[in-house]
Each structure stands twice: as C-alpha cells, then as structure tokens.
Amino acid sequence: MKGEEQPSATLDRVRRHLIALRMPRALEVLDHVVRQFERGETNALEAVDTLLSEEFTIREGRRVKAALQMARLPAVKTLASFDFSFQPSLDRNRILALAQLEFIDRHEVIHFVGQPGTGKSHLALALGVEAVKAGRSVYFAPLADIVDVLAKAEREGKLRERIRFLCRTSLLIIDEIGYLPIAS
C-alpha cells in the first residue's frame, strides 16, 4: 500500500478533472459516491455510473428546457394530463401511437380538427413536448403569426431563408388554423 496520501491525491485529481470537464453535478455528488463505495454499498463501476448518470440527468434537463424555449410552445402539455374521457370519440391508442413520433420520420402531416375547446392544441403541444424530449427540433406558431412573419420576410427579401428555417424543423406545429383572421 502506498500510504494514506494517495487516495486523497487521487480524489483531488478527480475533482480537478470534473471541473476541467465542466461536470458540476458529478463534482457535487462525488464525495457521497466515494463514501458509498468505501462502505461497500456500491462497486467501482456503479460509482462511475452514478457520477455520469447524475451529470447526464442535469444536462438532459437543461437541453430539454432550452429546446422547449426554442420551440416557442405557449405551454408544456403532456399526454398524461390529457383527459381522454372528455373526448370519448378520440382513439386513445391512435394518439398514443403518434407519441412514438414515427410520423415525423415518414414526413407525414397530422391534422387535429374539431370545435374550439376540444383539446386539439393540448394534443399538438403534448406531441411537441415528446418530440423535444426525443431530441427533435420543434417550432410552434399560430397560422396568423407564420403568415405575418413570411410576409415581413418577403418584404425584406428574406423569404427563402425564413421558409428554409420552417422546413428544417423536425416538427412544425401550426395552431389556430382558421381561428383568427389573417391580415392581408
């Protein structure tokens, strides 16, 4: 054995590495994980997994939060919070199948049609949230806003660029189609 100084020096080096690698959550839980290992509550591989999982969870949360902001979703809705009993005519399994997001890969267009207050926006937003969580790019806007933005882009000679932006998005959610008047 090389003496008592080595584990402390190694731990200091690990701390420096975590700082250099910008892994603040792993650094925060390091001492706790080391104590668990020393007490035999975990093995070395599980300790490393815990450090990486903690850091990954924080980073993934930040990524999702930023992507939700970029998506411009007016609210975060989930399928779990949707009351299917309120809309018994909806095929729950079909909606849940949409949450698998395969329609995005197939470049399919999904329409939610119905009277105001029937949950169309809730379902669209929930699919947007699922897409963000899956790492897909999402953009939400009411139709009137898209028309206004495209008209402005055309006046500024940037229409092609703006259309390209909208087309690059994995999931474009256009809400309030036919709901608000569109300025000419």
Give the separation between CA 117 and CA 115, rounded to whole angstroms: 6
Asked whether residue 76 is domain-assigned, the answer is no
Same domain flag for 54 and 90:
no
Same domain flag for 92 and 64:
no
Same domain flag for 168 and 88:
yes
Asked whether residue 181 is domain-assigned, the answer is no
Same domain flag for 63 and 140:
no
Same domain flag for 64 and 88:
no
Closest residue by Cα to residue 142 from 180, 183, 104: 180
Same domain flag for 119 and 51:
no
Out of 43, 71, 99, a domain closes at: 71
Q: What is the pLDDT of residue 1?
A: 44
Asked whether residue 184 is domain-assigned, the answer is no
Q: What is the pLDDT of residue 176?
A: 86
φ, ψ of residue 138 to 5 degrees: the values are: -135, 145
Q: What is the pLDDT of residue 116?
A: 85
Closest residue by Cα to residue 74 from 130, 111, 125, 110: 125
Query: What pTM was computed for the model?
Result: 0.79
Same domain flag for 164 and 88:
yes
Q: Print the domain residue range for 115.
A: 84-175
Q: What is the pLDDT of residue 128?
A: 98
Report in angstroms the alpha-carbon separations of 108 from 22, 138, 171.
40, 15, 10
The tens place of each residue's pLDDT in the chain, 184 residues long, gives 444 557 789 999 999 999 999 999 999 999 999 999 999 999 999 999 999 999 999 999 999 999 999 999 999 999 999 999 988 889 999 999 999 999 999 999 999 988 888 899 999 999 999 999 999 999 999 999 999 999 999 999 999 999 999 999 999 999 988 765 555 5
Same domain flag for 165 and 132:
yes
Q: Are 139 and 177 in contact (CB under 8 A)?
A: no
Tokens of 148: 């206004």
Same domain flag for 169 and 89:
yes
Report in angstroms the alpha-carbon separations of 148 from 15, 159, 173.
52, 11, 16
Same domain flag for 37 and 115:
no
CATH assignment at residue 94 = 3.40.50.300
